[in-house]
A and B are shown apart, each in its own frame.
Chain A
Amino acid sequence: MAAPSVSRRLMLGLPLAVVATGGIGFYALLERMRSGSYNPQDFNNPLVGHPAPEFTLPGADGHQGFDRAALAVQKRPVLVNFFASWCVPCAGEAPFLDKLAQSGLDLWGIAYQDKPEALALYLAKYGNPYRRVASDRSGRVAINWGVYGVPESFLIAPGGMVRWHVAGPLVPEVIQRQLMPALRRLA
């Protein structure tokens, strides 16, 4: 039997080449999932990689309020945490926020559609990890930030750029896998 032509060999090697390319792509995707820079189930906030939107909020529970400019002038990264006293997962993430604050990360809270009394009770009960707490009674600022639901957190780099975001509670897995690498990238 005559030896098969080169073109036939190449043609029949094509499936392998295609699959190998796809496989490398899948591998890259999985690696990015592991490092936390890609989450297919996540609704990525379009703010990531952009400056935080313009806003000014009054303080709550005796704290100083803040605005975009206050965030932008910080020398260290700030984790802005949208929360609410009526939100069950927020109470769930509270101990982990405390640990984060103890480790030296600046946490600024925005209470979303919350009443002052309920907020005070909540902070007294679950601890207050925040440097500043602002109140977003109308929820308008949350809309501008594209908040999907509380709790939701944004990592703001010095200068006011949003560098990382998570919709949902900051559980240890998210902190280890996503927040810490994001902080290291900023350092």
Chain B
Amino acid sequence: MIPTLGHFALALALAIAAAQAVIGLFGPMLRDRVLLRTAPALAIGQFLMLCASFAALVWAGVVSDFTVKNVADFSSSITPLFYRVTGTWGNHDGSMLLWCLILSLCGAVVGIFGTNIPTSLRSRVLGVLGLVSGGFLLFTLTVSDPFQRIWPPPLTGAGVNPILQDPGLAVHPPILYTGYVGFSIAFAFAVAALIEGRVDAAWGRWVRPWTLVSWLFLTAGICFGSLWSYYTLGWGGFWFWDPVENVALLPWLTGTALIHSAIVVEKREALKTWSVLLAIATFSMSLCGTFLVRSGLLNSVHAFAAAPDQGLFILALLALTIGGSLLLFAFRAPNLATSGLFAPVSREGALILNNIFLCVIAAVVFTGTMYPPFVDLLFGQQISVGAPFFDQAVLPLTAPLILAMAVGPMLQWKRAAIMPALTKLWAGAVIAVIVFAFLLFRGHAIAALGLAGAAWVIIGAVVDLAERVRLFRVPLVQSFTRLFTIPRASVGAALGHLGFGVLVLGIAGMTLRVHTVTVLHPGQGVDLGGYRWVLDSIAPVQGPNYQARQATVTVTRHGKLVMTLKPERRVFTAQKVDTMAAAIRTNGVRNLFATFAGEDNSGGGEFQFNVHPFAPEIWLGGLIMALGGAISLSDRRFRIGAPVKKRLRKPAGSATV
């Protein structure tokens, strides 16, 4: 009963989305006040319907209703409640419903909070969102139905894939999807602006907070995904340049470019055409990622089962959304007025440099990811593009980005001089050179470059903030209060840059990691990275739905106990799958990482021990970046609106209706 209602709610959501698309797009043309106010209501209605639909699916999972194929295939009655809920989106069809739910949430949010946007623009934005949403709802309803029923129902379900039974997975897809799908708002704004044929500073101000929200979710989502693979897959790596990781990185790169270029639109009314294109490109990348993952076109550990028929459907949707928007762009963009001149050395210049490098990196990653299938298509050869290519191609492109990152925020708008900015950064330069020389002397060239870059960016961000609060030039208390009175956007920007520096620190630190693979009998030990690792015992442990062999490893340094690690080898009884549960202990600046691969007949266990310097900083950096985005989002001009003279405000609100 409940799943049927959920299915019905899904169909209703599709109908509402269609209405939202038509009324949203054509309402402004008819200049009908009622129609203009209808679009937000429809967006909210669509969201409520999808909430009901999604709740029905979760309910079916919670009560283990095995007449629903989705539940029977990916859940079971012995699965813990938490994973019965999260299992809802751990599979193809369920995650598609989550995707649609978040897309409709975007529309609802614009409908509820977009009161400062002119009604005609808001209506068009919602119309575009309704169109995209309608397409994907049609897909969900017809070829990827999460409410598909089976009869007779099986007695027990197949259960959740043990690898996916992890709290990390519970938060990863919803956050990542919010990031992915959130860019639909920027996309809708771009398309709506093209329809209206007008992009101005106000457009930049409306589009930026929405982009920032999705950017911070995408940042956090990628971060969680990377953390999850770090501790669950037991390989001790945090980024594998796997195709599916790459397609998540692509919208992040162009989205990062967009949040920077939108500043230029907002402040200087320059880069308008470019920003519109970036907004379209970013959401296109998100859609493209969805398409590549769903169709099974990419060979990846994350891939859902290959489904070329579903792929064709999504490709048609892509052709409509991306092709349609770019067609509109090709016709309308040439008529957008260009304005806002500036010198090459200026804040705008620095932001353009940022955009160029981010987009070049995105292009390189995209090429590397799509090269194997296309080479197969064109030349019939099978090749694979792996981490060495990406490392070698992306690292040199990141270097100028890192160099410019510290200087950029200190340049003035329109025309700036580079020397005053550089003199402020002398401390960063000195420390970066010291770090570089020290590590180069010890023979770690790549780590030396990376850590020096990290030091440069971190100190650049700190100096930037210190300059803004006039640290040491006014009394300390005054500096502290300034921290709360200066625009939060600048605090957020400095934090974002700081976070990136910390992230670079983590990645560079990981190049210094050491590991060993060894067979130990209880009582035996091994030395690695200045620590002594001794196996005490191996004992059986009973988990909620698995049985495990747990090893106890004592780690000492200079004879003093550092910690005890308990890596496990788990056998999930329902699926007969065994997994490794790595033991990871951190002290904030380095991780000790142990995995237990199995036992031999003589009672010895095979272990992999790792020392990962600065590993925690990778995720800490990502979270600081996301936090920077959140603080920037709370800026006064997004909360209340930019200070506008009263005389100007009045016509802005009513003239466009």
Contacts and interface: CB of A to CB of B under 8 A. Distances in A.
A27 B315 contact: yes
A28 interface: yes
A87 B308 CA distance: 29
Interface centre among B297, B308, B312, B382, by most chain A C-beta atoms within 10 angstroms, is B308
Contacts of B377: 25, 28-29, 32, 38
B525 interface: no
B540 interface: no
B315 A34 contact: no
Interface in B287-326: 291, 295-299, 303, 306, 308-309, 311-312, 315, 318-319, 322-323, 326
Contacts of B370: 22
Interface in B328-343: 329-330, 333-335, 337
A31 B308 CA distance: 8
A132 B297 CA distance: 37
Contacts of B318: 23
Interface string A1-20: 10010001100110110011
A152 B492 CA distance: 57
A16 B326 contact: yes
A12 B374 contact: no
A15 B329 contact: yes
Contacts, number: 80
A162 to B, nearest CB: 15
Interface string A38-69: 11110010000000000000000000000000
Nearest to A11: B334
Contacts of A4: 334-335
A30 B327 CA distance: 24
A15 B284 CA distance: 12
Contacts of B298: 40
Contacts of B280: 15
Given A12-B273, A30-B295, A25 B335 contact: no
A39 B308 CA distance: 10
A120 interface: no
B376 interface: yes
B503 to A, nearest CB: 30
A30 B308 contact: yes
A21 B613 CA distance: 45
A180 interface: no
Contact of B329 (A1, A16, A22, A38): A16
Given A27-B315, A38-B373, A41-B303, 17 more contacts: A8-B334, A12-B334, A13-B330, A15-B330, A16-B326, A19-B322, A22-B370, A23-B322, A23-B323, A27-B312, A29-B297, A29-B373, A30-B308, A34-B309, A40-B306, A41-B306, A44-B382
Interface of A: 1, 4, 8-9, 12-13, 15-16, 19-20, 22-23, 25-34, 38-41, 44
25 contacts: A1-B337, A12-B273, A12-B329, A15-B280, A16-B329, A16-B330, A19-B322, A19-B323, A20-B323, A23-B315, A23-B319, A25-B374, A26-B291, A26-B315, A28-B377, A29-B297, A30-B295, A33-B295, A33-B306, A38-B373, A40-B296, A40-B306, A40-B373, A41-B296, A41-B306
Rank and list the top 6 A-B pairs by shortest CB-CB distance, nearest first.
A4-B334, A13-B330, A16-B326, A33-B308, A40-B299, A12-B333
